[in-house]
Amino acid sequence: MNQKIIRSAVAAVLTFTAGGAGYTAGHSGGAQGAAPSIPAVTVSAPPAGSTRVIYSLDAKQNDKEIISLIDAAKSRIYFAMYEFTLKDIADALVAAKERGVEVRGLVDAGESANSYDKPIIKELVAAGIPVRTEKHESGNGIMHIKAIVTDSAYALGSYNWTNSATTLNDEILEIGTDPTLRQTYENMLRRLFDAYKGTSAAAGAAAPVSIGVIGYADAAAHIGSVASVRGRLVNTYASTRGTVFLDFCTDYKNCPFSGVIFADDVKKFGDLARYTGTVITLTGKISSYRNKAEIILSNPGQLSK
């Protein structure tokens, strides 16, 4: 989903300052050219007309920033999140639902079905929160958005709702209240909710049904199915953008199957070269890309010997 939004309403500048927790724009009141005032603590619902950009490791509390937005919501909360494993955010969403706020979500089909995200999805669904998944016609593509929109604010950036993104990773989180941007993001999420009408993360979180173990040469006959695809790894190749391809044939261009690990997930797997020359199993949904079968790996549990 490589859609770009022209963001003419906000000129947010990220300033990395030791001990600082974010940059607040819109109410500085300082002289032109003066250094911005960077608050030591930013966990609160943002004031009207403001924007702040937070670097994750300054305070390691991006989860609390998200929770503050959820707690301040009065009528609606819409979110789309690629990886979602933080129970404190899930609990805040459930609490909002219980106090009468409309809560709706969108998650990635693959991520929501893995062992890390399943408990979160189950909690949300059990609370009556509708959570949809993407459904691309090719069976390929992921839901990679990380955003939340309430009736008064929005937050988005590189930040997944995970512990590692909160305390270990370099992440950026933008929080704002500009009415035009807030409405733009809400409209986009509504559009996706409509586009994926009829899907539900509940089924994937419950128990994806696998067809079992198959050879890599047979994968193309099972597009759309969940399976464990087995074969000898010939080579690993990293693209200029950091995506890693697991090749099962010497001539990868004519190979019927490959494994794919996107750049954001590569570091989870360690040194993939250690699998070269060994028989491995890739487990997940078989999708099609350029008429070839593939499985996208997002967590190490999908790869085994």
17 assigned to some structural domain: no
Helix (H) / strand (E) containing 203: helix 201-206
Question: In this structure, is residue 13 part of a structural domain?
Answer: no
Give yes or no for a contact between 144 and 108, defined as CB atoms under 8 angstroms apart: yes
Same domain, 202 and 215: no
Residue 269 inside a domain? The answer is yes
Same domain, 234 and 140: no
Q: Are 42 and 150 found together in one domain?
A: yes
Residue 5 lies in a domain: no
One domain, residues 196 and 238: no
The token pair that represents 33 in the structure block = 């050219």
Which residues, listed in sequence order, are joined to residue 12 by a DSSP beta bridge? none
Whether residues 33 and 133 fall in one domain? yes
Same domain, 184 and 222: no
Q: Which one, of 147, 130, 126, lies nearest residue 200 by Cα?
A: 130
Query: Quick one: average pLDDT of 135-147?
Result: 80
The band of 33, judged by pLDDT with boundaries at 50, 70 and 90, is very low
- Same domain, yes or no, for 172 and 217? no
Mean pLDDT is lowest, of 163-167, 244-248, 288-292, for 288-292
Q: Are residues 186 and 163 in the same domain?
A: yes
Question: How far apart are the C-alpha atoms of 144 and 89, rounded to whole Å?
Answer: 18
pLDDT in tens, 80-115: 999 999 999 999 999 999 999 999 999 998 787 777
Same domain, 107 and 182: yes
| Cα–Cα–Cα angle for 84, 55, 12, rounded to 5 degrees | 110
Q: What is the CATH number of the domain that holds 163?
A: 3.30.870.10
Q: What percent of the chain has pLDDT over 90?
A: 64
285 has pLDDT over 80: yes
Instruction: Return the higher-pLDDT residue of 272 and 20.
Output: 272
Q: What is the count of structural domains for the chain? A: 2
111 in a structural domain: yes
Residues 102 and 34 both lie in one domain: yes
- Alpha-carbon distance of 155 to 54, in angstroms, equals 10
| CATH number for the domain that contains residue 260 | 2.40.50.140
DSSP 84: B
Share of the chain above pLDDT 70, in %: 82
Domain housing 175: 23-206
pTM of the complete model: 0.61
| Over residues 230-243, mean pLDDT | 94
Is the per-residue pLDDT at 22 higher than 90?
Answer: no
User: Mean of the pLDDT values across residues 219-244?
Assistant: 93
| Structure confidence by residue, pLDDT tens digits, 161-205 | 999 999 999 999 999 999 999 999 999 999 999 988 877 776 655
What residue type is 156 in one-letter code? L
pLDDT the model gives residue 228: 95
Q: Among 26-30, 181-185, 297-301, which stretch is predicted with the lowest mean pLDDT?
A: 26-30
- Does residue 1 lie within any of the structural domains? no
Look at residue 11 in the predicted model and tell me its pLDDT: 31
Task: Give the phi and the psi of residue 269 in degrees, each rounded to 5.
Answer: -95, -5
Residues 267 and 105: their CA atoms lie apart, in Å, by 27
Report how far residue 123's alpha carbon sits from residue 34's, in angstroms, rounded to the nearest whole number. 47
CB 149 within 8 A of CB 182: yes
First to last CA, the chain: 33
Q: Of the candidates 206, 221, 236, which is a domain's last residue?
A: 206
Nearest alpha carbon to residue 297 among 200, 228, 209, 219: 228
Calpha distance 110→82 (Å, rounded): 9
pLDDT at position 227 is 93
**Chosen domain end from 184, 206, 228:** 206
